[in-house]
């Protein structure tokens, strides 16, 4: 049963991250998830100082607010200061992460909080952290409920805003010309990314969240030119990686998150080599002249 809960949690995180990652890939902002996962540290520390509790709810609220602030700062530096997107991402997340480290070091005597524990969760502990009702009913792991709720929100968000998200990702100028607010949909997308990142990394770890945001969408991008197919393929690739990575970790007796992230990399490598349309090996075969009879 533990294997089921771990694979289910990984699959739910893969679904959220892969769907949003497709839009980040097209916008050339794939590393926003990595930035958010580090930049939320001050929000977690401040939430603890204000509430005096390490309960997940205030931690998620504090981290979520900092996640949204991070995306606002990235866009602000990019548009106002004319800094390249990758540079604004790097400056923002290193600055906020450093502030978080300073806060922890300043209040180390009062805070039983370690930045490694905060940022890098362990998916193997998912079946242990159970949600138990007041009547004593065991409702399952908290992570499944948290990430499952976020998955529903993300799917509804993409379903209801598919046209706007699609146009602003592919052709922002055309979207603006027909009256779609590109800024509004950018911030909505970034807020969804922040929510997903913050809700996921506590359970599965920041490295695995970033892997799911980048690798499955990038793999699907190599396999198809149809965007709807890319969305579905990225989810399937992420779910397969969750299951295969778990069994690989059991076989190797190693880190589950590390094994899942490794499988996502192997999936990308296979698509890079053997994709029918973009694979290097397949393209080389097309260039080899057929023998003349």
Strand partners, 138: 132
What is the average per-residue pLDDT within 282-287?
A: 60
Cα Rg of the chain (Å, integer): 20
Backbone angles phi, psi at 130, to 5 degrees: -95, 150
What is the average per-residue pLDDT within 213-231?
A: 92
Which of 146-155, 259-268, 273-282 comes out lowest in average pLDDT? 273-282
Which of 193, 227, 222, 229 minimizes the C-alpha distance to 209? 193
pLDDT in the model for residue 121: 60
SS3 293: coil
Residue 266 has pLDDT above 90, yes or no: yes
The helix (H) or strand (E) run that includes residue 92 is helix 85-106
More confident: 161 or 61: 161
Which of 132, 148, 151 minimizes the C-alpha distance to 140? 132
Which of 226, 220, 232, 230 minimizes the C-alpha distance to 271? 220
pLDDT in the model for residue 293: 43
pLDDT digits (tens, 9 = 90+) for 23-72: 988 888 877 777 777 777 788 778 777 777 666 677 777 777 887 888 88
Cβ(72)–Cβ(187) under 8 Å?
yes
Instruction: Write the Ramachandran bin of 224: left for phi over 0, alpha for psi from -120 to 50, otherwise beta.
Output: beta
The mean predicted confidence, pLDDT, of the chain is: 81
User: Which CATH homologous superfamily contains domain 2-271?
Assistant: ABC transporter involved in vitamin B12 uptake, BtuC (1.10.3470.10)
pLDDT in the model for residue 231: 94
Strand spans (E) along the chain: 130-132, 138-141
Helices 2-26 and 32-39, packing angle to 10 deg: 120
Which of 248, 245, 238, 232 minimizes the C-alpha distance to 268? 238
Cβ(83)–Cβ(91) under 8 Å?
yes
Give 76-87 as a DSSP string.
HHHHTS---HHH
Which of 40-44, 218-222, 288-292 comes out lowest in average pLDDT? 288-292
Whole-structure pTM value: 0.84
Residue 233 has pLDDT above 80, yes or no: yes
The 10 Å CB-count burial string (b at 16+, else e) for 176-196 is eeeebeeeebbebbbbbbbbb
The helix (H) or strand (E) run that includes residue 252 is helix 227-252
Residue 203 has pLDDT above 90, yes or no: no
Q: Whats the size of the chain, residue-wise? A: 293
């Amino acid at each position: 049963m533990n294997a089921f809960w771990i694979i289910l949690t990984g699959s739910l995180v893969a679904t959220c991250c892969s769907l949003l990652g497709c839009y980040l890939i097209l916008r050339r902002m794939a590393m926003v998830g990595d930035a958010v996962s580090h930049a939320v540290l001050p929000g977690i520390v401040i939430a603890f100082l204000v509430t005096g509790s390490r309960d997940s709810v205030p931690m998620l609220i504090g981290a979520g607010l900092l996640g949204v602030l991070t995306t606002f700062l990235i866009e602000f530096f990019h548009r106002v200061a004319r800094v390249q997107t990758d540079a604004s991402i790097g400056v923002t997340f290193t600055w906020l992460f450093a502030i978080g480290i300073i806060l922890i070091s300043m209040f180390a005597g009062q805070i039983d909080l370690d930045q490694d524990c905060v940022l890098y969760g362990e998916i193997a502990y998912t079946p242990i952290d159970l949600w138990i009702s007041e009547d004593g009913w065991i409702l399952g792991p908290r992570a499944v409920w948290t990430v499952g709720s976020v998955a529903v929100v993300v799917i509804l968000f993409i379903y209801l805003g598919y046209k706007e998200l699609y146009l602003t990702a592919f052709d922002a100028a055309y979207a603006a010309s027909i009256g779609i607010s590109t800024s509004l949909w950018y911030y909505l997308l970034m807020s969804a990314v922040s929510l997903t990142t913050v809700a996921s990394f506590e359970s599965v770890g920041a490295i695995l969240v970033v892997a799911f945001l980048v690798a499955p969408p990038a793999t699907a991008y190599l396999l198809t030119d149809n965007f709807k197919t890319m969305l579905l393929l990225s989810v399937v690739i992420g779910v397969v990686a969750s299951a295969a990575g778990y069994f690989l970790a059991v076989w190797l007796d190693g880190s589950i998150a590390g094994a899942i992230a490794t499988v996502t990399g192997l999936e990308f490598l296979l698509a890079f080599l053997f994709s029918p349309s973009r694979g290097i090996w397949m393209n080389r075969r097309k260039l080899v002249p057929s023998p003349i009879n």
